[in-house]
Amino acid sequence: MRRFPTVYLDYNASTPLDPVVRDVVIAGFESWGNPSSVHHVGQEARALLDDARDRVASVFRCRPSEIVFTGGGTEANNLAILGAARARVSKGRHLICSPTEHPAVLQCFEHLARHEGFEVSWLPVDAVGRVDPEAVCAAIRPDTTLVSVMAANNETGVHQPFAAIGRICREREVLYHCDAVQWFGKEPVPGMACFEADLVSFCAHKLHGPKGVGLVYLRAPLVLSRHMLGGPQENDRRAGTENLPLVLGLASAIERFLSPGVFPTRDLQALAHSLTTAVASVEGIQVVGPSTGRLSNTVGFVLGGSDSLALLANLDLEGICASSGSACSAGALEPSHVLLAQGYPPSLAAAFVRFSLGRETSAEQIRSVCDRLPAILARSRGC
Ligand SMILES: Cc1ncc(COP(=O)(O)O)c(C=O)c1O
């Protein structure tokens, strides 16, 4: 039995499935026909799929044909990056990316460089991890085909100047991909056009939708190289029978939680401020990230003399769910590649913790965490 009730502060990792969205998903399992079948059972599923696409496009203010459903954010990034880079090889093989991207973006670029003869320029970032649009301008060459810079960082919450980057790319006739997975639901999205991007990645489970479903917005008339081989689903852009129940859940989450965003920004700002103040008062702590130009739900810190695994384990012992943002390998957490790119030494980048707040986070929970934090952090340092 846990001594303390759970305090979930890991909303950038995933969010609880909303009960209304869950009912939509469950009802979707009744329409089990294959949307590609000619008979009426298949065509009933097809009608629901088409309707979901229309509704998503209406919220995003884009054309239904510009939406490609995928199996989540990782696949959306793979399809966008591999598909766009390979489709443009006749123009060139030079790509540009920021080193603070999610691994689902980084590893696509690394793969293209290592195995497919592409060259990648890695953009410099400043001390908070932000890309200067001028640096994108300077990195573009005649053979550049694709730039990828995310909307908001999953580890630190830092916003990137995506619209300025997108405009520069468009002027130079270079494709721009924006991984906006962490932006939706947290910041305003008047429509896909706000990203000024040719390709935008989205996934549903970051805003109370189901896991394993996402989408790529693909600005018409862009054509991608297929990254999965098989049937002609999704207008020949993503092979495989569509996962109708999850797509219906995704559409419901987008309709319900995008505008206004499901993350209560003003309340979260106040809660995040209390948490930051409590964290900053502990000796040896460095709060990560700027005070403005970031997701209001995200609070990060590093603690010298400790490491992420000890910190997360000690928090978890008291029921507090947080994250380090990086993967666990061989029983240890890798240093955060985001903080390394920002110039943190490896010892501090390996002692990073991220709290990310959300719809269900209460003032009482944050008060309780703030009260217990100094002792938990002291234990994590072996004091
Ligand atoms: C910025 C970013 N991109 C992509 C992903 C991957 O999304 P999914 O978990 O749906 O594969 C995540 C998930 O953590 C993310 O934070």
Look at residue 372 and tell me if it is in a domain.
Answer: yes
- Domain limit, last residue, from 257, 286, 313: 257
* 99-131 pLDDT tens trace: 999 999 999 999 999 999 999 999 999 999 999
pLDDT, average across residues 345-373 = 97
Q: b/e per residue, 216-249, with b = 16+ CB within 10 A?
A: bbbbeeeebebbbeeeebbeebbeeebbbbbbbb
Residues 310 and 205 in one domain: no
- Domain limit, last residue, from 240, 257, 274: 257
Q: What band does 1 get if pLDDT is binned at 50, 70 and 90?
A: low
CATH number of the domain where residue 204 is located: 3.40.640.10
Cα(1) to ligand 1 centroid in Å equals 32
Task: Give the atom of ligand 1 at the shortest distance from the alpha carbon of 75.
Answer: 11
Look at residue 23 and tell me if it is in a domain.
Answer: no
Cα(364) to ligand 1 centroid in Å equals 29
Look at residue 133 and tell me if it is in a domain.
Answer: yes
Look at residue 12 and tell me if it is in a domain.
Answer: yes
Residues 82 and 185 in one domain: yes
Cα(281) to ligand 1 centroid in Å equals 32
Residues 167 and 104 in one domain: yes
Residues 89 and 113 in one domain: yes
Question: Containing H/E element for 277?
Answer: helix 265-280
Residue pair 208/359 in contact by the 8 Å Cβ criterion: yes
- Give the residues across from 144 on adjacent strands: 94
Cα(254) to ligand 1 centroid in Å equals 16
**Is the per-residue pLDDT at 383 higher than 70?**
no
- Domain limit, last residue, from 224, 257, 290: 257
Residues 241 and 267 in one domain: no
* 274-329 pLDDT tens trace: 999 999 999 899 999 898 999 999 999 999 999 999 999 999 999 999 999 766 55
Residue pair 100/125 in contact by the 8 Å Cβ criterion: yes
- Give the residues across from 152 on adjacent strands: 159
Look at residue 221 and tell me if it is in a domain.
Answer: yes
Residue nearest to atom 5 of ligand 1 (CA): 73
Look at residue 302 and tell me if it is in a domain.
Answer: yes
CA distance 190 to 163: 13
Residues 294 and 323 in one domain: yes
Predicted local distance difference test score (pLDDT) of residue 3: 79
**Cα angle for residues 33, 35, 38 (degrees, 5° grid):** 90
Residues 232 and 309 in one domain: no
Residues 180 and 210 in one domain: yes
CATH number of the domain where residue 323 is located: 3.90.1150.10
Residues 246 and 279 in one domain: no
Q: Give ligand 1 pocket residues (Cβ under 6 A).
A: 72-74, 77, 102, 104, 150, 154, 179, 181-182, 203, 214
Cα(221) to ligand 1 centroid in Å equals 26
Residues 179 and 64 in one domain: yes
* 222-275 pLDDT tens trace: 999 998 999 999 999 999 999 999 999 999 999 999 999 999 999 999 999 999
Among 203, 243, 336, which residue has the most ligand 1 atoms within 8 Å of its CB, making it the best to mutate?
Answer: 203
Look at residue 109 and tell me if it is in a domain.
Answer: yes
Candidates 97, 194, 328, 370; catalytic one: 328
The pTM of this model reads 0.97
Residues 106 and 136 in one domain: yes
- Count the domains in the chain: 2
pLDDT above 70 covers a percentage of the chain that reads 97
Burial of 45: CB neighbours in 10 Å, binned 0-12, 13-18, 19+: buried
pLDDT above 90 covers a percentage of the chain that reads 93
pLDDT, average across residues 28-53 = 98
Look at residue 41 and tell me if it is in a domain.
Answer: yes
Residue where the block lists tokens 């103040």? 277
- 328 is annotated as an active-site residue: yes
Q: Which domain holds residue 338?
A: 7-16+263-380
Among 107, 150, 153, 154, which residue has the most ligand 1 atoms within 8 Å of its CB, making it the best to mutate?
Answer: 154
Residues 271 and 191 in one domain: no
